[in-house]
Structure 1
Amino acid sequence: PPVEPASSAAAMPSPEAAEPVVVSVVGLVHTPGLVTLEPGARIADALDAAGGALDGADMLGLNMARRVTDGEQIVVGIGAPPGQPTEMGSSVVTGADSSAGTADAAGPRASPAPGGPAGPVDLNTATVEQLDTLPGVGPVTAAAIVSWRDSNGRFTSVDQLGEVDGIGPVRLAKLRDLVLVG
């Protein structure tokens, strides 16, 4: 009797291990979106599946040799603005990292305020640099907003900002009065 459960248990991991890995590749790539990869694929494979990085994309923050896991997001960004560390340009976001991203957003919130936007930022015309001045929006989230716009067309409602990876209900509520759809 113990042999049957052992063989059943051994049979179960095999199909799971053979399942494809789906990751989201956003930012400065030729075809942002979901890509399906073979188990054991690496970040370099995910970028290839997304058509490769655009010229000028900051790749310093990405470890091209790291294996990807199902459900994660790879953000290919731009070079950091002056005074920001370069490794902020690109990153890999997993479910566990999203809470850390929110905590990190609290730190820079005070610095953009003095030189922050003069008025509401138009989600349809704003550059990554303009979006980066918003509280809680760093270069990676700003690149994700521009990528969403490139993939989905113009924003028709501020509520659509909630569809951008990295912007949850709390961040959306904080940004609602600071952005507009022109």
Structure 2
Amino acid sequence: VAIMSNEPEHLKLVYLDEEQGQVKVSLKNASGEIIHKTTINNKAGFSQPYDMELLPAGDYTFDVTIPDGTTLSETVTIVKPSNEPNFAANVLNVNDGKKFRLAVVNRDERALPTSIKVYDQNGNTIHEEKVNDLYGFRKIYDLSSVEANQFTFEIKNASGTRYLNAY
């Protein structure tokens, strides 16, 4: 019995024994509660996928009872990605007016591209662009022609979204 994973939350239980008969699989959470169980008619080994995406992070144990009554156990730990975006960003008023410097530092190239949107105080989009710079960027936004006193910068990529207020 082995638990394999090509993706963090998608597992595959592999059973290689060719002994024919019923194999019972129970999946338990860290508290020992059975959260899933199934019986498989083994003919020559099998592979059974398990989608753990909707389960919370933690330890899970697969108890596999083979045809002779022996139970084998394998424990896996499911780690959930952080909800915190994988980039740093800040905005700075550079002239006590309507010019702002946005600085973004990317920490993971897999999160690219970075989408930038600027909103006025009424939520209207006044600027939009995509940036593919691997390491991040700095840019001055001149908003002096916009009839608004407050702005929100939305910085978004595959790892998450940050909102920065500027005034």
TM-score, normalised with respect to structure 1:
0.20
Q: Which is strand-richer, 1 or 2?
A: 2
Name the structure with the higher helix share.
Answer: 1
Greater C-alpha Rg = 2
